Amino acid sequence: MTPWILLSIMKCVGLFEVIIVKVDISDIVKTDGAIIEIELVEKLKSLNFEAGSVTFNSPVRLAGRLMNVSGIISLKGYAETEYEVECYRCLKNLNRNIKVKLEEEFVSTKKDDGEAVYTYDSNLLDLDKVVVDSILLNLPLRQLCNEACKGFCPNCGTNLNEGSCSCKDEKINPQMEKLKDFFKFN
């Protein structure tokens, strides 16, 4: 993972509007090997990140299992939602679906030495951050309405999917753009 992605995630989390989802883990927190099955629906609203803005119109559906593994709570499951994003080249609205695997561990705040990514506090475990992080990490950075999308003419602004313009030599070559992205990220 590049530092760039990490940075944009840290900047974004504050923009999420989230209904805080806390799971009561008092039934499993004292018993090694104990399990809770979870099935939740949580709402995320919109989010801006460096590659564009993403709107979450439907709630996130989350299903999985929390298990006490020697005092560490392990989460295994899936989160799924639909979202709206603009095509990177032509700005057309796209409705997309994302399903992410959740596989994380929560350390008690009492035992955390500052290294744990996710923690739980006594009997409550907060799932928001895990869900937000997992979705952000798995969102494609450049979303296209279609691989062959021609985008706008950089010269006159014509949408080249809808028609051509007279500035022939200035047309964006999708292959060239891919190459440009390749060098940017490698």
Binding site for Zn ion (CB under 5 A): 87, 89-90, 92, 145, 149, 153, 155-156, 158, 165, 167
Question: 129: left (phi > 0), else alpha (psi -120 to 50), else beta?
Answer: alpha
Instruction: Kindly state the smallest distance separating residue 135's Cβ from Zn ion, in Å.
Output: 22
User: What is d(CA 99, CA 117) in angstroms, rounded to the nearest whole number?
Assistant: 21
In the bound state with Zn ion, the residue whose beta carbon lies nearer, of 80 and 177, is 177
CA 152 to chain centre: 27
Instruction: Kindly state the smallest distance separating residue 167's Cβ from Zn ion, in Å.
Output: 4
Instruction: Kindly state the smallest distance separating residue 180's Cβ from Zn ion, in Å.
Output: 17
* Angle, alpha carbons 18-24-26 (nearest 5°): 155
In the bound state with Zn ion, the residue whose beta carbon lies nearer, of 29 and 149, is 149
In the bound state with Zn ion, the residue whose beta carbon lies nearer, of 69 and 167, is 167
* Angle, alpha carbons 122-126-129 (nearest 5°): 140
In the bound state with Zn ion, the residue whose beta carbon lies nearer, of 23 and 149, is 149
Instruction: Kindly state the smallest distance separating residue 169's Cβ from Zn ion, in Å.
Output: 10
Instruction: Kindly state the smallest distance separating residue 151's Cβ from Zn ion, in Å.
Output: 6
**CB within 8 A of 85, min separation 6: which ones?**
52, 53, 54, 55, 93, 94, 96, 143
In the bound state with Zn ion, the residue whose beta carbon lies nearer, of 35 and 156, is 156
Under DSSP, is residue 90 helix (H, G, I), strand (E, B) or coil? coil
Instruction: Kindly state the smallest distance separating residue 154's Cβ from Zn ion, in Å.
Output: 8
In the bound state with Zn ion, the residue whose beta carbon lies nearer, of 69 and 156, is 156
Neighbours of 177 (CB within 10 A): 15
**CB within 8 A of 154, min separation 6: which ones?**
170, 172
* Angle, alpha carbons 64-19-59 (nearest 5°): 60
